[in-house]
Structure formats: structure tokens, C-alpha cells
Amino acid sequence: MSVVADEWSAPRKAALVVEVLGGGDAAAIAARAGLRREQVEAWAATGLAALEQALRVPDGPDTARVRHGDLRDLIAHPHTQAATVTAAPEDPLHLALQRMRAHDVSQLPVVQEGRIVGLLDESDLLLHVYGDAARFDDPVAAAMVDRLDKLPHTAPIEALLPVFGRGHVAIVMEGEQFLGLVTRSDLLSHLRQRQP
């Protein structure tokens, strides 16, 4: 007998999430609870993201974040600090979607052997899977874009505007090293912080 996931109360879901995050086998936990493994994994991913968000130190005036005076200051989740949520080209699309939802982001840089090789956003994903849900099992490489708007970290802030005008996000680089993404929201936050 399968339990409808929507019938689960928050405390019951939380208990399963704690069990999975504590190292429990998601498939066994799901079977015992009469749920699908994918549902339990999604709950666990969401729970982990909420926990990370709750523990994250806000970037405000009292935060001891190093300022560089260039585009690195606009990167909300620096890849060099392992703060960027990424996907690998071989990851299945359903896993990439779980990561997007769990971390409340609309795009993922696709990284292979430490180098950014593409970008997957919700639109790319939607266009790829629309009409055939089985395509959620396809690899990220099948839906990602590989024409990237890369900017050196030394570029002026104004260099972001044409990138955003094309509806893209800026990929900030130091030579060949991927430093992180800058979105419209990141620029707005930066401008707001500079306001007296």
C-alpha cells in the first residue's frame, strides 16, 4: 500500500529527513514508509537546503567578507569557497532539478574536472523535458548551454549590463578558473548595499 505524500504532516516528514540526512538508506526508509524513494530524496534535499540556509551567515555590513573592488564582490556564492551549487554533465536532469529546488536557484553551472563547461537553467530544462517526462533521466549535457557569457573578474560592473540584456547570467572568471555567477539580483543587492 502506497501512502499519498501530501498526507504527511511536517513533523513526520522532518523525522524521515533527519533519518536520511543522518546516513539512512533513502530507498529502505521510503519502502518502510510506503513512499517513493524519489519523494524521500526530494524531502531530504529540501531539508538540507533549509538547514544550510538557516546556518548561513548573512552578507551584511557586519560580515567579515573580503572585498576585492571588482566583480568578485557581486558573487553571492563563490565557487572558490565551495558555495556554488553545481551539476556535472553526466548527472541526470531530475537530480539537477532537485538541486535547483533545494537551493532555491534557477540555474546551475555545469562543472567537469573543476572547469565550467556549461550552464543549465529552468528554461533549458523545461524545453528539453516538455512532452516526454522520461527525459528527466537524460544527462545534464543534453539540455545545458555551452555558449557562456564569461567575464574576467576585473571587468567593470557596466560589462554586466549587456549580459543581463540578453537574459543571461554572468560567469566570472580569473583566467581559466571559474569564480562564480553574477545574476541581476546580485547586482541589485550590490547597488542597494552601496546606497547611503
- Whether 173 is covered by a domain: the verdict is yes
43 & 81 share domain: no
Which among 30-34, 64-68, 101-105, 146-150 has the top mean pLDDT? 146-150
- Counting Cα atoms < 13 Å in the Cβ hemisphere of 140 gives 26
- Whether 148 is covered by a domain: the verdict is yes
Q: State how far the Cα of 171 lies from the Cα of 187, in Å rounded to an integer.
A: 13
Structural domain that includes position 30: 5-55
81 & 29 share domain: no
- Whether 66 is covered by a domain: the verdict is no
| DSSP labels, 110-158 | EEETTEEEEEEEHHHHHHHHTT-GGGGGSBGGGT-B----EEETTS-GG
List pLDDT tens digits, range 133-150.
Answer: 999 999 999 999 999 999
- Whether 10 is covered by a domain: the verdict is yes
* Contact criterion met (CB below 8 Å) for 82 and 94: no
159 & 75 share domain: yes
What is the reported pTM? 0.64
**What's the rounded mean pLDDT across residues 164-177?**
92
Backbone angles phi, psi at 55, to 5 degrees: -90, -10
Closest CA to 24 of 11, 10, 40: 40
List pLDDT tens digits, range 32-50.
Answer: 888 888 888 888 877 776 6
